[in-house]
Amino acid sequence: MKFHREGLNIILFTLSLLALANLVMIFIFPVIYVYHILFWVFCGVILVLVLRFFRKPGRGLNSAVDDILSSADGVVVAIEEVDEPEYFHEKRIQVSVFMSIHNVHINWYPIAGKVAYFKYHPGSYLLAHHPKSSTENERTTVVVEDIKGRKILLRQIAGMVARRIVCYAKEGASVEQGSEVGFIKFGSRVDLFLPLDAELLVNLGDKVKGRMTAIARLAD
C-alpha cells in the first residue's frame, strides 16, 4: 500500500508516539497482563486508521470526452441549482460530495484545462453538511477552464474535524484531468459548480470515486 506525502509526517509522529507509549507501559508494568494486550490492540487500531486515512490507491482514469469526473471519494449529498457568488455570479448546478474519515482524501481535477482562478478563504469549521459551510467554512476555490472555454468551479471545504486543506492549484497552470488538486485531512466536502446545461449522471446518495465516477457531462 502506498501513502500520500501529506500524511508522512503524521504517520511518523503516530508511530513514534505509539512506540513511546509502549516503552513506558513496559517500563512501569514489566509483567505482561491482559491490559497490555488490550493496549496493544488499541495502538494497532489507531495505527491502522491513520494508515488507511493517508492511503494512496493505485487507480486508473475513467474518462470520456466531455465527462466531468468526481474530484473526491464519498457520497453525493447535494444536487441543486444555486447562485454562485464568488466567481460566476450566476446560477450553476452544485454537486457536493461528502468524504467520511473512511474515504480516500485526495482531491483530483474534474476536467483538463487551465487554472483560471484560485483563492484560499479562512473561515469557520461548521459541520460539512451544514448549508452555510460552502460559504463560511475554511475553503479553497479553484476554477478550471477547458480548451472550449467551459469552466468548472471546484471548492474544497473543511468540516468540524478537518482542519487542514492542502491545495496545489496555481493560476495560469495547465492541469490534466484526474491529476491531484489537493488533499483534505480528516474528512470534509468537495463542491463542484457546473454549467446549467450539463447532463447530470449521478443522484443523491450515490457513492462516487475520484478520477473514476463521471459526475456529469458537458454540453458541446
Hey, which residues does 91 pair with through a beta bridge? Answer: 83
Cα separation of 100 and 75, whole Å?
9
pLDDT for position 138 = 84
Cα separation of 148 and 77, whole Å?
29
State in words which class domain 67-217 has. mainly beta
Per-residue confidence of the chain (220 residues) as pLDDT tens digits?
788 888 788 899 999 999 999 888 888 888 777 878 888 999 999 998 888 888 888 888 888 789 999 999 999 999 999 999 999 999 999 999 998 888 888 999 999 999 999 999 886 655 555 555 565 678 899 999 999 999 999 999 987 655 578 899 999 999 999 999 999 876 688 999 999 999 999 999 999 999 999 999 998 7
Q: Is 179 a catalytic residue?
A: no
Cα separation of 25 and 5, whole Å?
31
Mean pLDDT across the chain: 88
Please classify residue 56 by burial: count the beta carbons closer than 10 Å to its beta carbon, then call 0-12 exposed, 13-18 middle and 19+ buried. middle
Catalytic residue among 70, 71, 134, 188: 188
- pTM (2 d.p.): 0.84
pLDDT for position 128 = 53
Q: What is the pLDDT of residues 66-86, one digit of tens each?
A: 999 999 999 999 999 999 999
Phi and psi, residue 40, nearest 5°? -65, -40
| DSSP notation for 25-37 | HHHH--S--HHHH
Cα separation of 94 and 2, whole Å?
32
Cα separation of 220 and 148, whole Å?
8
Could you tell me which residues come within 8 angstroms of residue 171 by beta carbon, excluding any fewer than 6 positions away? 115, 116, 117, 118
